[in-house]
Structure 1
Amino acid sequence: MKLVASGERYRVIDDFLSSDDLEEIRSLMRRRRFEQVPSVVYPEADGHALRSRGALLRQDAVALSADTQEQGAPPGAYQAILRELRAHPDMFGTPGGDWSVVGFSFWKYPAGSRLGWHNDVATGRQGEFVFFLHEEWRASWAGELILLDVDPAAIEVDTAGMSPLETVEAKASLATQALTAIVPKPNRLVLVKEGTIHCIHRVDHTAGETLRQTMTGFVAAHPPEKWRRSASSNIDRLASLLGSN
C-alpha cells in the first residue's frame, strides 16, 4: 500500500489490499445481485450503470449487510477500508464524532457509459471513497475519475438561471485550475473530500466487455432515526442514496 498522489481534496492509494483481501472483496462483489440503473446526473447523456444492493458499515467495524441481514465482524477488506478512512481525519473528521457510518454499493460501468459533473453534496456527508475492483484496465479505455482539486466556493460564476448541476459544470468549465484525472487502476483506492466537483469520464468502446467495477461509499453521520427502524430495507435505501460512482 502506498500513497501515490494527493491534493487539497483527494488522495490516491495504490496496491491498497493484499492479494487475499482483494480476492475476498471481489468474490463478495461477484455474489451480489446487480440491477441496471439510470444516471442520477444526466440520464440521457450518461447512459446506465449496474448497481448492487447497498450495505452499511459502522465506524466501529460492525457490519450489517442489506443482502444477508446478518450482523457480525466485517470481512478483512472492509476492515482495511475503515482503518484507512479513520486515518484521514483532516478529510473526513473524527470517527464516532463527525462520522459514524459508511454506506456503500458495488458499481459496474459498461463501455459507452459515464457520469456527468456533480459534487455529491448531502446533509451529513463528510466525503467518499472509490475503490477499483476490475482485474485489468488500460488507460485507453478511459473511465477516469476526474475532479477539480479546489474548494467549489472559491470559484465564482454567474448562476442566474442555472440548475445546481449546471452550476457545478460551469465551475468545472471556468475554473483556472487544471483538472485531475485519476486512471481506474485495479486495487487503487481514491479518497475524496465532501463537496468536491467530479465526474466519471465515459468508458471507451474499446473496453469491449470489460466493465469499470468499483466499491463506492460515502462517509456520513448516523442515518436518521426513521431509517434505523427496519434494517432490511433502510440500509439498502441509505446506500442507494449515498452511492453513485
Structure 2
Amino acid sequence: MKEVLCDDQLLIWDEVLPAAAFEELWKTFTNGSFRPVHSEGMEAVFRPSDGNPLLGHAYAWTPRPVEELLPPGLGRDELGLNFHPTHGPVDAVLEAIVSASERAPHLTGTVGKDWLALNGSFWAYPAGTGLSWHTDAVRYSCAFIYYCHRHWDVAWGGELLVSSSTRDAESLRGAKYTFEASESENRVLQREGLGRYVMPKPNRLVMLKGGIPHRISPVQPGAGNSVRASLAGFFVSPKGVELMLEAHLAQGTSGKGR
C-alpha cells in the first residue's frame, strides 16, 4: 500500500491490494447482483439529474462480535449484511480500511467511542450517473470509497469533488429531497468556490472526514459499458448503529424488510 495524501479532510492510499487479490475482488463485483438505487422508492440524496446508479451487496465490519450490538431477538442473518470475515476477497478491503483508520483517527474518530461499525456496499455508476453536492449524515464520522474497476480513463469523469467550503456545511443536510440547489447550498459552496478532485484510480482507497461537502462528477458517455465500480460506505457512530437497527426493526414490523 502506498500513502498518497493524509490531511485534515482526506486520506488516500493507492495499490491497496496485490494484483491477484484485486482481480479476485473484481470477479466478486461482476458476479454480484445489483438493483437500481431508486428501485424501492426515491433515494433522497440523489437528484433526478444524477440518474439511477446501481447498488450491490452490502458488507460490514465490527470491532467486537456483532451479536453484542443487537437487541434481543434480532439475529445477524436478518440484517441483510455480509459480515467480516466473509472468507472472500472483500475481507482484505475491509481490513485495509480498518488499518487506514488507525493511521487517521483525526478523520474517523476513535473506534468504540466515535464509531462502532463499518457499513459499505458495492456501487456501479454507469455513464450518465453521478451524485450531487451533499454532506453525509451526522451519524457517520467518516466516509470511505474503494475503487474496484480494472481501468479508468481520465476522460470518463466520475471524480470525487471535495469542497474547501466547510463553514455551515451542516445546512446541506436540510432538505429530504434536494430537487434543486437551495439558497444555503449556494451560499456554502460559493463562499470560497474552491476545492479539489480525486481521480477514481483502480485499487485506490479514499477516506473523507464527516461534514465535508462533496459530490461525484457524472460518468461521461465515453465510458460506454464501463462503470465506476466501488465499495463505498461509512464509519457508523454509536447513535447511527442505534438508528439503523431501529429502522430495520420498523421495516420488519411493516412488512417492508428486505
TM over 0.5: yes
Q: How does 1:52-67 map to 2 (within 5 A)?
A: 52-60=56-64
- Where does residue 8 of structure 1 map in the other structure? 8
C-alpha deviation, 1:230, in angstroms:
7.5
Q: Is the 8 A contact 1:148 1:172 kept in 2?
A: no
User: 2-side partners of 1:21 and 1:196: how far apart?
Assistant: 31
- Where does residue 176 of structure 1 map in the other structure? 192
C-alpha deviation, 1:130, in angstroms:
0.7
The question of 1:133 aligning with 2:148 is answered yes
1:55-107, CA deviations, whole angstroms, 9 ceiling, x for partnerless residues?
Answer: 22113587967668677466233222222123211111111221110111100
106, 126, 135: which is aligned to 1:110? Answer: 126
Which amino acid counterpart does residue 18 of structure 2 have in structure 1? Answer: S
C-alpha deviation, 1:205, in angstroms:
0.4
Secondary structure of the 2:24 match is helix
Which amino acid counterpart does residue 224 of structure 1 have in structure 2? Answer: E
User: 2-side partners of 1:69 and 1:102: how far apart?
Assistant: 11
Deviates more, 1:92-101 or 1:18-27: 18-27
1:162-188, CA deviations, whole angstroms, 9 ceiling, x for partnerless residues?
Answer: 858525631454132521111111011
1:90-145, CA deviations, whole angstroms, 9 ceiling, x for partnerless residues?
Answer: 111111221110111100001011110101123x3111111111101011101100
- Where does residue 30 of structure 1 map in the other structure? 30
Which amino acid counterpart does residue 206 of structure 1 have in structure 2? Answer: G
- Where does residue 143 of structure 1 map in the other structure? 158
Which amino acid counterpart does residue 20 of structure 1 have in structure 2? Answer: A
- Where does residue 201 of structure 2 map in the other structure? 185
Q: Is the 8 A contact 1:143 1:184 kept in 2?
A: yes
User: 2-side partners of 1:226 and 1:198: how far apart?
Assistant: 23
Which amino acid counterpart does residue 49 of structure 1 have in structure 2? Answer: P
The question of 1:195 aligning with 2:199 is answered no
Which amino acid counterpart does residue 46 of structure 1 have in structure 2? Answer: D
Query: How many pairs were matched up?
Result: 229
TM-score by length of 2: 0.75
Which amino acid counterpart does residue 9 of structure 1 have in structure 2? Answer: Q
- Describe the shift of the 1:5–1:68 C-alpha distance in structure 2 as closer, same or farther (beyond 3 A): closer
Q: Is the 8 A contact 2:165 2:194 kept in 1?
A: no
C-alpha deviation, 1:220, in angstroms:
1.1
User: 2-side partners of 1:147 and 1:168: how far apart?
Assistant: 17
- Where does residue 227 of structure 1 map in the other structure? 245
- Describe the shift of the 1:2–1:62 C-alpha distance in structure 2 as closer, same or farther (beyond 3 A): farther
- Where does residue 43 of structure 1 map in the other structure? 47
Secondary structure of the 2:142 match is strand
- Describe the shift of the 1:172–1:133 C-alpha distance in structure 2 as closer, same or farther (beyond 3 A): farther
Q: Is the 8 A contact 1:109 1:211 kept in 2?
A: yes
**Structure 2 stretches lacking a partner, 5+ long:** 68-75, 253-257
Q: Is the 8 A contact 2:123 2:229 kept in 1?
A: yes
User: 2-side partners of 1:175 and 1:224: how far apart?
Assistant: 35
Q: Is the 8 A contact 1:9 1:149 kept in 2?
A: no
Which amino acid counterpart does residue 188 of structure 1 have in structure 2? Answer: R
User: 2-side partners of 1:132 and 1:47: how far apart?
Assistant: 20
Which amino acid counterpart does residue 162 of structure 2 have in structure 1? Answer: L
Question: Percent identity among equivalent residues?
Answer: 25
C-alpha deviation, 1:226, in angstroms:
7.8
TM-score by length of 1: 0.79
User: 2-side partners of 1:42 and 1:226: how far apart?
Assistant: 20
Q: Is the 8 A contact 1:34 1:51 kept in 2?
A: yes
**Structure 1 stretches lacking a partner, 5+ long:** 235-239, 241-245
- Report the aligned-residue RMSD: 3.4
